[in-house]
Amino acid sequence: MVTIKDISEKCGVSRATVSKALNGHKDISESTGEYIRNVAREMGYLPNAAARSLKTKRTNNLGVLFVDKTCSGLTHEYFSAVLESFKVEAERLGYDITFISRNIGSASMSYYEHCKYRGCDGVVIASVDFSDEMVIELVKSEIPTVTIDHVFNGRTAILSDNVQGIRDLVEYVYQCGHRRIAYIHGEDTSVTQKRLASFYRTCAELSIEVPNEYVKDALYHDPKSSGLATRELLELSERPTCILYPDDFSFIGGMNEIERHGLHIPEDISVAGYDGIYLSQVLRPRITTLRQDTGVLGREAAARLVEAIERPKLAIPQQVMVAGHLIPGSSVRKM
C-alpha cells in the first residue's frame, strides 16, 4: 500500500507538505499541490478511512433507512431511482452509503444502534413506518436525519408535491370530459392523506360528485390489492369512466382485472397512474401519469444531509418541495 512517506520520497518534499497537498491546504503553492496530487494518483495512493475519521471526527458514511411493505426492496422503481440519485450525489460529495436494518447477522438492534455501530454521520429515511418507535428514536437522536415524503418537527424533509400532482391529474381527466372519476389510493400515510384530500378538493372545485364507493384503498406498489379494488369498481351498477391508481406498478393489477372483464383501455374505461416510472411509458396503451422528479428528490436529500453534518450551526431544517409533471399518455379517452 502506498503511504504518504512513499509520496514524499518520490516528490522530494516533507510528509507534512504531502499531507497539506492531499487535504487541499492553501499554505502551499497551487502548482506544488497539483504536482503532489498527480504523483499520488499515479502511484495509486488511497487515503486511509480510519485515519481520516480520527482527524475529522467523521466517517463520511451516510445511512439509508428504507423498508418497503411489499418487500420489493431495490426493485421498487420509484424509490430505487430516488436512492440512486441520492447515492450519486453522496459519492460526489465524498460519502459512502450503508443500508440500515434491525439485524446484523443473528444480532438484533434498533435502527439507532445500527447507525452507531456503522458510524453513520447522518441518515436519510425513506418508505418506512414513520410511527415506528425505533424510527422516532433515530429521528430524535443526535444523528442528523433527512426524511423523504414525511415531515418531523425540527428535521429537514424532501417532499414531492403530491397535492399539486393529484390536482394536475384530476384536471387533465376532467378536461378530457370525464365526470365519473374513481380513485384507488395507497395505505394510510402522510402521502396518501395529502393526495386524497387534494382529490376531494379538486373534484369539489370542478363540481364533480364523488360517491363513497368510487374511492378504494389498496397498497402502494401492489398489483394484487389494486386489482381487487378495480374489480369492485367494475362491478358497480354505474361504474366510473376513469380510474386513478396509487402508482404505475399497481396499475398492472387493474389492467389485468379490466381485461378479465372483457374491457379495453381507453375505449371502455380510462386509467391514469402515478410516479412516471419507465414501465408506464412502455406498456400499451401508454399510461397517463404524474412523473415525480426522483433525480431532484435524491440529490436534495444528499445535499441537505451533508450540509447538516458539515455545517451543523448553519443548517436550517426545511421542507423542500419538489414539483412533478404530468405525462399525457393514451390511456385516457377524450369523451
Same domain, 169 and 277: yes
Query: What predicted TM-score, i.e. pTM, was given to this entire model?
Result: 0.78
Count of beta carbons in the 10 Å neighbourhood of residue 119: 13
Task: Please name every residue paired with 272 in a beta bridge, in sequence order, or none if there are none.
Answer: 244, 288
Domain count, the chain: 3
Secondary structure (DSSP) of 105-146: TTEE--HHHHHHHHT-SEEEEESS-TT-HHHHHHHTSSS-EE
CA distances (Å), origin 281, targets 170, 249, 278, 297: 20, 11, 6, 21
Count of beta carbons in the 10 Å neighbourhood of residue 331: 24
Average pLDDT, 10 consecutive residues per value, the chain (335 residues): 84 87 79 88 71 61 83 71 93 91 78 90 90 92 93 92 96 97 93 96 96 95 95 96 95 94 95 90 90 94 94 90 95 93
Residue 75 has what pLDDT?
Answer: 64
Range of the domain at 42: 4-47
Task: Please name every residue paired with 271 in a beta bridge, in sequence order, or none if there are none.
Answer: 243
Same domain, 122 and 186: no
CA distances (Å), origin 71, targets 79, 104, 175: 12, 18, 37
Residue 54 has what pLDDT?
Answer: 46
E strands in the chain: 61-66, 96-99, 103-104, 107-108, 122-126, 145-148, 156-160, 181-185, 215-217, 242-244, 270-272, 289-291, 319-322, 325-327
Question: What CATH number does residue 125 fall under?
Answer: 3.40.50.2300
Give a yes or no: residue 334 inside a domain. no
Same domain, 258 and 232: yes
Give a yes or no: residue 156 inside a domain. yes
Give a yes or no: residue 56 inside a domain. no
- Residue 225: all three cell numbers together: 390489492
Residue 4 has what pLDDT?
Answer: 82
Task: Please name every residue paired with 326 in a beta bridge, in sequence order, or none if there are none.
Answer: 290
